[in-house]
Each structure stands twice: as C-alpha cells, then as structure tokens.
Chain A
Amino acid sequence: MSDSIDLTGKVAIVTGAARGQGEAEARLFARRGARVVLTDLLEDEGARVAGEIGPRARFVRHDVSNAADWAAVVELAVREFGPVDVLVNNAGVMWTKPILEETPEGLDRILKVNLFGAFHGIQAVAPLMRANGGGSIVNISSLAGLQGIPGHAAYGSSKWAVRGLTKTAALELGEYGIRVNSVHPGAVDTPMIGDRFTRGPGNFPTVPLRRVGEPEDIGELVAFLASDASSWITGTEFVIDGGSTAGIVPPVRG
C-alpha cells in the first residue's frame, strides 16, 4: 500500500530553502525519496537544514537574480546527484508599501528576485530537462498573483508576472515533456511574512478553513506537482489558500 506521493530517484533544486516554505519542501522531498539541492542567500540556516536532512541534501549559496550563480547551482546538482528532474522556484522577497511610496529601486529589487529569479531558473534547467526527456518546474506565485492586494504594487506585479511566465513556459516546453505550473499560496505562517499569525483551527477566521496555512501544506502540493502523479498537469495555476479566493467568506457563527 502506498503512503505518500513518491519522488524516488528524482533530483530537485529548491530555491529559498533555508527556511519557510522552501525548507518544508526540501525536507518533504527528501522524505519522499528525492535528492535535493537547497539554495539560499542565508548560508548558516541553509547549511543547517541540509545537514539535518542528511546525505540526500546539499546546500549551496545562491543569489537567484544572478544568472552565473544559476549555472554553478545546476553544475553542482548534476555533479552531486545527476540530471535535474525538478526545479522549485520558491525564493522570493516581499514587503508592503503604498504604491505612491514605492520606489523604482524597490520595484526593480522585487522583480530581480521574484521574476528574474524564476526566469533564470527556467533557462538554467530546461535544456538539461529536455536532454533528459522531461521534468517539472514549479513556480511559487501568490494570491497576490491572482488578485490585487493593497500594499503589493511591487510584489503583486512580480507574482502576476510569474503566473504569466509560467504559462508561456508551459506552452513552449510542453513538447519536451517539461511541465511548468504555478502555485498560489494564501497567508502562510513563514518568516517572510513575519510574526503575524497564530497557527491552529479557528485562529484565522478570514478564510473558510478558519486557519492560517503552514509551510507543510504548501510542500505537499509542490511534491504532487513535482511527482509523476501530475504527469498531465502543465500550465495550471493552483491556489492553496484555505478557500479565501473562492468568494465571499461567510461570517463566523456565534
């Protein structure tokens, strides 16, 4: 009897894996049989997580906005584990700022990481995946890539762009067996968001499931999209938000 999504034999790169969702994804991937290259700018935390995962993991410092860094990451993955089957473009930065206060430099910084990072990543792994007969790329967008959210002029722009980039990549790379999908998390309790949420049932009444998301919730979905269980899924945008974008949320009953 099967007990989980299987990633046996897969080689994956997860960016932004030192903490939060990326960390949860890397840990889950390894538990499901994959070998994982964790990348992040945060060296101490990234190395610690990879060390805890054990021989199935490597950590490498990585600025996703830098194409040369990407070449080094892919080279390391191939050298250590073999051809890359899965890329999770998870690394991202976020802040909230009214549009009239946002600066061109701020917009540029967010786009460099959140959008150019994913773009460089696709360019870095797709030729390998093509030569290898296929692969799966998961781009982490956001609810802010499905709707307008006040304060997210820069962040929202980057996440809408990732959603569009995903679809174009899916269309162009489909014939090589490379699947490309976007994941749109709602409010998830991670260090990126800060110390705003309390986990657990009933503590987040603004979504239908009445709780905030946890990194492991997102990890399970990403693992599914990384696995062969999703072999005919490409170009899809997958919302994972406890139901908040399904419509108007009913009030909490007395």
Chain B
Amino acid sequence: MAELQGPNLTDKVVIVTGGARGLGAAAAKQIVDAGGRVVVTDLLDEGAETAAALGAHARFHRHDVTSEEQWKAVVDFTVAEFGRVDGLVNNAGVSTGTMFDTETLEHFEFVIKVNLTGVWLGMQAVIPHLKANGGGSIVNVSSAAGLMGLAMTGSYGASKWAVRGMSKVAAVELGPARIRVNSVHPGMIYTPMTSSVGIREGEGNYPNTPMGRVGEPSEIGAAVAFLLSDAASYVTGAELAVDGGWTTGPTVRYVMGQ
C-alpha cells in the first residue's frame, strides 16, 4: 500500500506561526511533504531546528505575532526566500487553564493579544500579497473552545470564539479576491501546550470523547493542509472541528449515566 498521501501543495508558499513544535510543526511538515515551501515562525528558537529538519523547502524566522513590525519582517523574509506568499496558518497561541473568577486582567489581555490580535495582524500582513497573486488561503486555528463553553478557558475561549467570527467576516470580504479564510477547531490534542493537563495518548485513554482518544498533531496538520490546497477551492467561511467528536454531543457513556 502506498504511503498515506495528503493534498497537493506543490510550489505553494505558506507561513505557519507557532511552528516550532506541536500543531504548527506538524502542519509545517505536511506542507513540505505535499510539495510546498514553508516559513516556520515562533518565539521559540527551537523553530530553527524544526525548519532545518524539514530541509531546503523550510525556513525559520523568530516572530512575536503581537508585533506589527515583526509581521512585516516575516512577510518580507518569506518573499525574499521563496518569492511569494500563498497561504497563512495562524496557529500560534497560548492557553489559559484558570477559572473565570481568578484570572487577572493582565493575563486576559495577554491571551487576547496573542490569540486574537496576532491573527488579525497576520491576516492584514498577508492579504496584499495574496491579492497580488490572484488569491490564497488563510487557515486560522481556533479551538473546540471556540465552538462551546469550555470550563477554565475564560480568555482563551473568548479569543477562540473571536477568531471563529473574524474568520467569517474575512471570508465574506475577501471571497471576491479569491482569498479563502477558514477556521479549524482542534479538540484535545497531545502537544507540549496541552500535555501538562495530564492527558495520555492512545486508544481508550480519553473516554469523554466519542473516539475515545486524544488527537495527534498530524491529524490537525492534515486538515490544515487540505484547507490550504486547491482541493478546497470552494471552501471558505467554514469551521472545521477536528476533535474526535468531542463537540458533537455527550458520549454514550455520559447519556447512560456512567
């Protein structure tokens, strides 16, 4: 049997924020595997190793997504290295893990700045380039916490709902320019950001979701790669849950009172 194949991204140039590890690194790998070129950005310098491991079609640029100047630098770098920009994956994010009544204003504002303002700045930075190319694809990584009210996600949930809404506004405004904008809503995925909550990988180890397991970063990467590709050429303004059924409803076990 042939190796599992994802969508075709031949010669597409994509910026992936938060690409040093976790979902972003998995998405970057799938983009390169599908024939694309990727600029991995992150605050973490280990992004340089992530990019180096992906070979000649990947670069790293250090990047604080809350800085408008740094966004300009990242886009300029991308054009200088690969000649163009076709796609953006707004993946960089920080999580919460605090109860509503104990979260500080400073933390709330920090989370909103990274998860929401960062996405907004990113879209603004790439849109002129995508327009000049006759179109493009923007994938904003929201969360299951942007589809439902998830406990202990005050600022995080607010930011992810906002990203979901902003994606739709951008989709209707940018459709005529053939720029597609979609949101992806990962459920509980095993990444460095989430491993601290004590989840475990493997079948049966996450029984409160219908598929009974947490997701792997590559499973989100595949959805991102699909949305970046021309295979999704009529998909815009969509929200795609990739969560093993978590936000679909309560599990059989829950309904049966177990």
> Which residues of A are in contact with B by a Cβ distance under 8 Å?
1-6, 8-9, 33, 167-168, 170-175, 177, 179, 207-211, 213-214, 217-218, 220-221, 223-224, 228-236, 238-250, 252-253
A236 and B241 contact, CB distance less than 8 A: yes
B252 interface residue (CB < 8 Å to A): yes
Question: Nearest Cβ in chain B — how far from A83, in angstroms?
Answer: 15
B175 and A171 contact, CB distance less than 8 A: no
A253 to B241, CA, bound (A): 33
B210 and A174 contact, CB distance less than 8 A: yes
Taken residue by residue from 161 to 189, chain B's Cβ proximity to chain A (1 for < 8 Å, 0 otherwise) reads as 00000001101111110101000000100
B133 interface residue (CB < 8 Å to A): no
B89 interface residue (CB < 8 Å to A): no
Which residues of chain A are near B219, meaning CB under 8 Å? Answer: 230-233
Dominant SS at the B interface? loop
Q: Contacts A208-B171, A210-B176; is A224 near B236 (CB within 8 Å)?
A: no
B234 and A4 contact, CB distance less than 8 A: no
Segment of B2-10, B78-86, B115-123, B194-202 engaged in the interface with chain A: B2-10
A233 and B240 contact, CB distance less than 8 A: yes
Q: B residues 201-258 with Cβ under 8 Å of A?
A: 209-212, 215-216, 219-220, 222-223, 225-226, 231-245, 247-252
Question: Nearest Cβ in chain A — how far from B217, in angstroms?
Answer: 10
Select B248's contact among A6, A8, A208, A234, beta carbons within 8 Å.
A234
A249 to B236, CA, bound (A): 12
B243 and A232 contact, CB distance less than 8 A: yes
B178's closest neighbor in chain A, by CB?
A209
A175 to B247, CA, bound (A): 15
* Besides A209-B176, A221-B231, A235-B245, 6 new A-B residue pairs in contact (Cβ under 8 A), listed by A number: A1-B34, A167-B249, A207-B175, A208-B173, A211-B234, A234-B244
B: number of interface residues (CB 8 Å): 56
A230 to B244, CA, bound (A): 10
A to B contact number (C-beta, < 8 Å): 187
Q: Contacts A167-B249, A224-B7; is A233 near B223 (CB within 8 Å)?
A: yes
Pairs A–B under 8 Å by Cβ, sample size 25:
A2-B6, A6-B4, A6-B5, A9-B1, A167-B248, A172-B252, A208-B172, A208-B176, A209-B180, A210-B175, A214-B234, A217-B233, A224-B7, A229-B226, A231-B219, A234-B210, A235-B241, A235-B249, A239-B235, A243-B236, A243-B237, A248-B172, A250-B172, A252-B176, A253-B176
> Which residues of B are in contact with A by a Cβ distance under 8 Å?
1-8, 10, 33-35, 168-169, 171-176, 178, 180, 187, 209-212, 215-216, 219-220, 222-223, 225-226, 231-245, 247-252
A28's closest neighbor in chain B, by CB?
B231
Select B7's contact among A5, A175, A177, A233, beta carbons within 8 Å.
A5
A3 and B8 contact, CB distance less than 8 A: yes
Q: Contacts A243-B171, A246-B172, A247-B169; is A170 near B236 (CB within 8 Å)?
A: no
Which residues of chain A are near B10, meaning CB under 8 Å? Answer: 1, 3
A236's closest neighbor in chain B, by CB?
B241
Which residues of chain B are near A241, meaning CB under 8 Å? Answer: 234, 237
Q: Contacts A8-B2, A170-B248, A174-B212; is A249 near B242 (CB within 8 Å)?
A: no
B174 and A208 contact, CB distance less than 8 A: yes
A179 to B225, CA, bound (A): 20
List 6 tightest A-B contacts by C-beta distance, closest first.
Answer: A208-B175, A246-B237, A235-B248, A174-B210, A6-B5, A2-B5
Q: Contacts A170-B245, A220-B232; is A232 near B237 (CB within 8 Å)?
A: no
Which residues of chain B are near A207, meaning CB under 8 Å? Answer: 175
A249's closest neighbor in chain B, by CB?
B172
Residue with the highest number of chain B CB atoms closer than 10 Å, among A210, A221, A233:
A233
Q: Contacts A243-B172, A250-B172; is A208 near B237 (CB within 8 Å)?
A: yes
Q: Contacts A2-B6, A233-B241; is A246 near B248 (CB within 8 Å)?
A: no
Residue with the highest number of chain B CB atoms closer than 10 Å, among A207, A230, A231, A248:
A231
Which residues of chain B are near A5, meaning CB under 8 Å? Answer: 5-7, 226, 231
B245 and A224 contact, CB distance less than 8 A: no
B222's closest neighbor in chain A, by CB?
A229
Question: Nearest Cβ in chain A — how far from B257, in angstroms?
Answer: 15
A175 and B210 contact, CB distance less than 8 A: yes
A218's closest neighbor in chain B, by CB?
B234
A232 and B242 contact, CB distance less than 8 A: yes
A239 to B227, CA, bound (A): 12
Q: Contacts A2-B34, A209-B234, A243-B171; is A174 near B211 (CB within 8 Å)?
A: yes
